[in-house]
Structure 1
């Protein structure tokens, strides 16, 4: 059983599990025999996901950027469910639009959640992963390989999260903890669908070459990432072509700049290319509840 299902009976913590990729990964992990602990901002959505999964699934509402709250949550997870063998740093938000039009607080919040929140997640759960000789998966993005216009905060944060994970892997390899970085392109999540409602994001997509402009179904993406977890892979590509993008990443900024120059020149003077704010329902939750405190115990 353990050879066919290496995660069978093991505990996996997933952040950003209220919807989208986090929810899909929780489902894929359960299908592969893992127990899961769901972390996220939105208690009602976490409860919905937990109720839809088989078994006694526990969830904790918590802001991953609040280190004290996350430390308490990590303690509660370990006390109730045991030390995790897998931690998936998936929680993330995005905002689009021109840098100069983006509110500083919005830009900062993207970096706080995607980069600092990942570091907080690692900091509070690494003691348990050292006990289990476990595996930490950092969700990065195509944006971590090739920075695009209209998403400066998201690209900066995902590049930072990528570098953080690579550094962490080098520090922890001799202690038996695996660290992986996952790269994915546009997945069909609520956040990406919300982005389609903004001209700035449509312009961004129009400037991307195929297949970087394509949207991919979230369940196959989650399944591929979970397969990477089972292999304790240092790098996981949700779409195979991302491996090629990685190989030529040094030349991508120039290519993107040339395509963008042409695309933006055609649209000069358009007044609808404006900052989006944090995208989707998850973005709204992150915007309205920074520093949320968790309850004294798990929510389910």
Structure 2
């Protein structure tokens, strides 16, 4: 039974969410279709460019993403506070970059004279748009509809391209966030699309590594601690080099020629989070299976269940994997 978005998203509990969109049946988003032999590799660029375009419009940041052959992973950070600092003109300008808006909002931005009733209508509409600009459902809708239309046009067909709804997981603490990010960034390695994170194209870790090589920041992605000189509360709770070491270590653990092997060269983040190696390996290889609508330690998951009026929180028995980091 499908759950309402209000039961899956609670900004009072966390601003971080893992979202997954999958293609219907055997449709290929990207990659090479084994049935027809047709290549859809160029569509990976569509998804990546659209994601980065939406980030420049929405008050939502991207922590991690991976564009796979028939699905897309993205870890999002909702910045509701920033959205409420935007002026009415900023809100309308941003919304008009991806939508037409209304006739009144168009006239307002052109500086045309409006009556008091019309100005009030514009104000009311702007507040609706403001709420949408930090809404994950609208973000994913603007991503998926754009890609679906482009793919259907290219395939010269109509009909549904994505599954009915995207899957959403709330990430309730730092260990849930970091393990999910590593899980997302390692998707191409697990699928044997790439041998190492640094050659896994169309992922956030690839983008970050390329930026690091050029001694620059990936401004479209939420920065790690230490990447920005100025104080910023919107920073991922780990240094970039530590995260890269973490992902690389986890990638070595899941190599085909070393099943179940735990590398003795621990990443620094493991000791700081207090997560046992076997737990971390389980998290970064089976994150989606372990947790459903939310992931975190038992306390945060129970609070999330209460705040979203759910009868139970699926996956709560696996919360012990994250409990040491809460």
Q: Which has the higher helix share?
A: 1
TM-based fold match above 0.5:
no
TM-score range, shorter chain: under 0.3
- What TM-score results when the alignment is normalised by the length of structure 2? 0.23
Q: Which has the higher contact order (CA 8 A, sep 6+)?
A: 1
Q: What is the TM-score of this pair, normalised by structure 1?
A: 0.25
